[in-house]
Amino acid sequence: MSAWRPLGPGATVGVLGGGQLARMMALEARRLGLRVLVLDPDPRCGAAQVADGLVLGHFSDAEAACRLAAQVDVVTLDTEHVPAEVLRAVEAVAPCAPGSEALSLIQDRLAQRRLLHALRLPQTRWAEVNDLESLRAGLAEVGLPAVLKTRRGGYDGKGQVRVQREDQLVAAWETLGRSPCVIEAYVPFDREVSAVMARGADGAVRHWPLAENDHRRHILHTTLTPARAEATLGPRARALAEAVAARLEHIGVLCLELFLLSDGQLLVNEIAPRVHNSGHTSLGASVTSQFEQHLRAVCGLPLGDTRQPRPAVMLNLLGDLWADGPPPLERVFALPHAKLHLYGKDEPRPGRKVGHVLLLGDDPAGLLREAEALHRALGGR
């Protein structure tokens, strides 16, 4: 990575996957004078609407990904689900961040758990599941209640099932197609928080304030930054994230999702080696957004200031709000301190992230109340 050469305005960044993360990256790239080329099978995907160009193809298509790589200065990702072998092929054509080695670790929950163990970072009890025998032995090891998760492909609660009683165990595994899994002890957390940071090509790091996350049906609902526990937990959470980023020799933004227990313990739930939904408040509330920072990092440029002058809350807008036609978005515009972000999705299906609202203010609890009231006003339940 020492050969990482700085790229400036006029350089082209390739992004594998054209969802909302790639879209917000492309919008920031345009402001910086960088060009963005996106790989996606949908010519109307959110990122293609704002990028300089599109290569038609899925991120699992190595030939299409290499065609994109041949036209750019550096390649990055919109999702960690890009197969590691595709990224390996792309690396032969252009520099990639994150790289295939880090990605192959992250996209396997078992490898992630082992990595956290090797780094001696705190996590819930877990065991590997490959067959009925290891399934039963795993449950005996972690205890009830437990959560069974597929090793690959899970996100937003997909690919995971809660096990409350022993007689639900086999059925739970069957709903996951009897695929290789990790079984984890269910964590009775007080709160979920995340540490979002960036690491540059030279190893420099910058952290945003700790994020406090509220999930509904396994999908992020609101994020408050700084978290109310920032002063007590921020330094510890940042040290955990930094240890992971250093071990992965990560270049770019990385998010560590954490559970906070009532006794003050922090347990690592998951590593996301990319810009993250819980980092969205940085776009509008921080001096440098996570999208600009990611571009700075993958372009080998110095990292920007991550300070956030005022508290902020992000409210996710899911497709459910569009079930009976567009929600009354004039309710967002009626709030002078609210910023609406829509991702350009043609089909706002239930459970899909269609946009978010950023609320800026001075009173964290008041902002969270306001986000709830706005969600209800938009038809949310």
Q: Which residues bind ligand AMP (CB under 6 A)?
A: 124, 147, 154, 157, 160, 184, 186-187, 192, 215, 218, 257, 269-270
Tokens of 64: 């299409």
Query: How near is the Cβ of 267 to ligand AMP at its closest, in Å?
Result: 8
Query: How near is the Cβ of 219 to ligand AMP at its closest, in Å?
Result: 8
Closest-by-Cβ residue to ligand AMP is 187
Query: How near is the Cβ of 257 to ligand AMP at its closest, in Å?
Result: 6
Beta strands in the chain (DSSP E): 12-16, 35-40, 53-56, 74-77, 126-129, 146-150, 160-163, 181-185, 191-199, 205-207, 211-216, 219-225, 252-260, 266-272, 312-318, 338-342, 353-360
Cα–Cα distance between 305 and 208 in angstroms, integer? 9
Amino acid code (one letter) for 47:
A
Listed residue (231, 220, 195) closest to 210, CA to CA = 195
Cα–Cα distance between 163 and 289 in angstroms, integer? 39
Q: Give whichever of 160 and 286 is closer to ligand AMP, judged by the CB atom.
A: 160
Q: Give whichever of 216 and 310 is closer to ligand AMP, judged by the CB atom.
A: 216
Q: Give whichever of 281 and 288 is closer to ligand AMP, judged by the CB atom.
A: 281
Q: Give whichever of 154 and 279 is closer to ligand AMP, judged by the CB atom.
A: 154
Q: Give whichever of 36 and 248 is closer to ligand AMP, judged by the CB atom.
A: 248
**Are 207 and 306 a contacting pair, CB within 8 Å?**
yes
The CB-side HSE value for 209 (13 A sphere, CA atoms) comes to: 24
Tokens of 54: 């599109």
Query: How near is the Cβ of 151 to ligand AMP at its closest, in Å?
Result: 12
Query: How near is the Cβ of 142 to ligand AMP at its closest, in Å?
Result: 9
Q: Give whichever of 81 and 331 is closer to ligand AMP, judged by the CB atom.
A: 81
Count Cβ atoms within 10 A of the Cβ of residue 249 and give its class: 0-12 exposed, 13-18 middle, 19 or more buried: middle
Q: Give whichever of 72 and 195 is closer to ligand AMP, judged by the CB atom.
A: 195
Q: What is the residue-wise DSSP string for 242-307?
A: HHHHHHTT--EEEEEEEEE-TTS-EEEEEEE-S--GGGTTHHHHSSS-HHHHHHHHHTTPPPPP--
Query: How near is the Cβ of 186 to ligand AMP at its closest, in Å?
Result: 4
Query: How near is the Cβ of 147 to ligand AMP at its closest, in Å?
Result: 4
